[in-house]
Amino acid sequence: MTTTPRQRPGPLGRLAGVAFRHRWRVLIGWAAALAVAVGLAAAFGGDYEVDYSSPGSDSQQAQRLLTDRFPAQAGEPVDVVVRSEGPVTDPSVQADVGALLDELRTLPHVTAVDDPYTAPGGLAPDGRTLTARLNLGVDAPENMPVEDTERLLAAAEAAERPGLDVALGGDTIRIAESGEFGSEMVGLVAAAVILLVTFGTVVAAGLPIGVAVAGLAISSTLAGLVAAVMDVPDWAPILASLMGIALGIDYVLLMVTRFREWRAAGLEPPDAAVATLDTAGRAVMVAGGTVMVSMFGLFAMGLSFMRGAAVVTMVAVLVVMAAAATLFPALLGFFGHRIERWRLPIGRRRGAVTVAEGGHVAPSRAWLRWSRLIERRNVLAVVLGGGLMLALAAPFLGARFGFPDAGNDPAGHSSRQAYDLLADGFGAGANGPLLLVADLPGGGADAGALPALADTVAATPGVAAVLPPVVTEAGDAALLTVIPSGGPQDAATEDLVHTLRDDVLPGAPVDVHVGGVTAAAIDVNESMADGLPLLIGGVVTVSMILLLVSFRSVIIMLTAAVMNLLSVAAAYGVVALVLEGGWVGQLIGVETETPMPAYVPVVMFAVLFGLSMDYEVFLISRMRESWLRTGSNARAIVDGLAGTGRVITAAAAIMVTVFAALVPSPDVVLKSLGVGMAAAILIDATIVRMLLVPAVMHVLGRANWWSPRWLDRRMPQLYVEGRPELFLPPATEREPEPVRT
């Protein structure tokens, strides 16, 4: 160490000093950790299999009975839909259909194929459409190899001829047609460009990318280990990877900026690394902690796939935090003295940097002018910013919840064509049949009640047809397939499910459960709606406590919670507007009106509330540092906004591009998540952090920093903003070194 602080640095600073000095060991340690993770994943990694049913729900009980008593019906289904210009009973059409079904029976994983000419409900009333159910020997569509699904599609395409259309439908088909989408690389490339523009040097821009890639390599490998011990949905690793990339780059971006400031203040690389981790590093740890708290809130939903998604994402965040605390200072040991090397010629300006109080580089005049404008027009800024946020949130009031199905797929996909053919020939409800599974402990005696039960269900408003009951060979269970009048996403279908459960089936002489994909989706949506208040209340409360301890201010705690909730609400409104399928939705490939899956706002809240807290911590920590130094509320707000505006906007630009990389995905759920999170980050970093927060703080004045004395005495002193005075060289000795900007 070339300078000696008046006190020892904190734990993060001391850890940074060790990592800087023993940089080779740290680098080898991270390489070894990656090798161990790869080895463990290869030996013990699991598959991304999930149960999307709601625990204890009626649909889950129906599925269990179906699996136990009707194993052939429980396999993953594929709908084979054929439409002919003439009657499907024509001998030539029957020959073509028979040849197609015979070919499908020989393909891998196909366990059974119904004969549409003899199976109940196989022929449409119009006489020109038929459907045959094909059962696969897999429990979930994700378990079907894509190449085998493509062989099914190829067989169907080969069977088509003029006057005969063939399409395959089902979740297995949808997954195969969606293909794979590598959004991580798109996000990394976009982030690299933004970092180069922000820092202007290859070395400074490369450090955040290097840390993020290292974190991504390990966390993506560990996702397989998590999948071995709990349910993890297939979209969770994508979300976790994007979170790891975005947070890794953002956190290191903040610390690289602070490192350059310490270098400009006159510190040598070892001291600057220690000072960086002991100041900006503290804010990074608090920010990461808020993200962990938000993701932990997903456990409140009581759904196994939500817990799996939360754990995978939390692992990615933990790896990023560990990389920021150890790998980053080690890399500074290699490249810290070259931080200004390999400068881009674009926008190059010469001149020495001015070091302001606290060791920070003086902000640009543009940011100072903006900060002072907000100070002068604070009431107008509050009114305009608040009105704009409410306007963005308004479309969410009309949001329609449900699960997107094949009817929302692109028109060229076989799954969409099968959906449309079924709806045209059999009615919209044929795409979402309800499966009524009856337990018959009395065997034949109970089976005698089935005809009357079928008649009662058929007479229920909203039921288009009831297929004849199918009884197991043992006579211990029966299956009734109910075709609703409305489609799977219609509100009338949800009403029908509740009517059957609440009014019709309780009077049946046998125990009957309503299942099927449509009923399961309704149960999951209701389960999430019940758990959402607990999620919001728990996450907001814990985050508020963390902010209170960090900044020792009741007002900042309350305003941060309100602002973050506004950001999330505005993002919900943007997603709802896109899913309406108008011209806005068509800009990103949402062609039809699409319901919002209930877990989309749930995941968005958990992710976005934590990310919003990140920017709050970055902004307020700089403000509080100035407040403690000057005692002026107005000066603190101006200094904090001007000093962090460039970093926050650059970090937000990176996050927006990383999450926007999901928008081209063919999966509408990933697409809506990408739109929502990109919009939320953009809104939060511009309207909220750069306008509303400073304006509200100017209106509140010195009350921003108030807390009761009794509470202040009992709270621990975290010094989230750090103790920069411990590292600043004496003014007489400090000669700011010229730093190219």
pLDDT top residue among 558 and 190: 558
d(CA 604, CA 585) in angstroms, rounded, equals: 19
pLDDT of res. 232? 86
The one-letter code for the residue type at 414 is S
Please, which residues have CB within 8 angstroms of residue 297's CB and are 6 or more apart in sequence? 535, 536, 538, 539, 542, 605, 606
Band of pLDDT at residue 365, cut at 50, 70 and 90: confident
Q: Predicted confidence band at 671 (pLDDT cuts at 50, 70, 90)?
A: confident
Q: Which residues pair with 479 in a beta bridge?
A: 437, 470
Band (pLDDT 50/70/90 cuts) for residue 322 is very high
**Other CB atoms within 10 A of residue 581 CB:** 15
Structure tokens belonging to residue 583: 């011209």
Which tens digit of pLDDT belongs to each residue from 680-718?
A: 889 988 899 889 999 999 999 999 988 888 887 887 776
**Can you tell me the mean pLDDT for 558-572?**
88
What is d(CA 459, CA 476) in angstroms, rounded to the nearest whole number?
25
Q: How far apart are CA 393 and CA 611, in angstroms?
A: 18
Instruction: Please determine, for residue 16, whether its predicted confidence score (pLDDT) is greater than 80.
Output: yes
Residue with the bigger pLDDT between 155 and 351: it is 155
CA distance 495 to 513: 16
Neighbours of 284 (CB within 10 A): 27
Instruction: Tell me the mean pLDDT in the region 197-216.
Output: 86
User: Can you tell me the mean pLDDT for 316-324?
Assistant: 94
Q: How confident is the model at residue 198 (pLDDT cuts 50, 70, 90)?
A: confident
User: In sequence order, what E strands does 33-92 have?
Assistant: 76-84
Q: Average pLDDT for residues 401-430, to the nearest whole number?
A: 86
**Phi and psi at residue 230, to the nearest 5°:** -155, 165
Rounded Cα distance between 25 and 635, Å, is 44
**Block residue for tokens 């100035």:** 626
For residue 165, report the phi and psi dihedrals to the nearest 5 degrees.
-105, 135
- Closest C-alpha to 430, from 474, 371, 481, 506: 481
- Decide if pLDDT at 303 tops 90: no
Distance CA 166, CA 157 (A): 7
Residue 119: its pLDDT value, please?
A: 85
Three state DSSP letters for 472-497: CCCCCEEEEEEEECCCCCCHHHHHHH
709: CB partners within 8 A, 6+ apart: none
Radius of gyration over every alpha carbon of the chain, rounded to an integer in angstroms: 30
For residue 510, which of 483, 475, 484 has the smallest C-alpha distance? 475
**Are 686 and 648 contacting, i.e. CB atoms less than 8 angstroms apart?**
no
Q: How do residues 56-110 score in pLDDT, each as one tens digit? A: 888 889 888 888 888 766 667 889 999 999 898 999 999 999 999 999 999 988 8
Identify the residue whose tokens are 């503290």. Answer: 282
Tens digits of residue pLDDT in 440-477: 887 766 778 888 888 899 999 999 888 888 888 788 88
- How far, CA to CA in Å, does 631 sit from each of 3, 329, 364, 628, 693? 28, 33, 23, 6, 19
The letter for the amino acid at 307 is R
Residue 350 has pLDDT above 50, yes or no: no
**Mean per-residue pLDDT for 410-430?**
88
At 259-287, the pLDDT tens digits run: 988 888 888 999 999 999 998 888 888 88
Residue 33: pLDDT over 90: yes
How large is the angle between the packed helices 236-264 and 633-660, nearest 10 degrees?
A: 140
Number of CB atoms found within 10 A of residue 345's CB: 6
Choose from 14-23, 41-50, 340-349, 599-608 the range with maximum mean pLDDT.
14-23
Confidence of residue 323 (pLDDT cuts 50, 70, 90): very high
Angle made by CA atoms 109, 113, 118, in degrees to the nearest 5 = 175
As to burial, measured by CB atoms within 10 angstroms (0-12 exposed, 13-18 middle, 19+ buried), residue 40 is middle
pLDDT of res. 733: 42
List of residues 6+ apart from 504 with CB closer than 8 A: 456, 457, 460
Helix 693-700 and helix 633-660, axial crossing angle in degrees, nearest 10:
160
* Per-residue model confidence (pLDDT) at position 721: 62
* Token pair recorded at residue 479: 């299956």
- Decide: 478 and 470 in contact? Cβ < 8 Å: yes
* Alpha helices per DSSP H over 167-235: 171-178, 183-199, 202-229
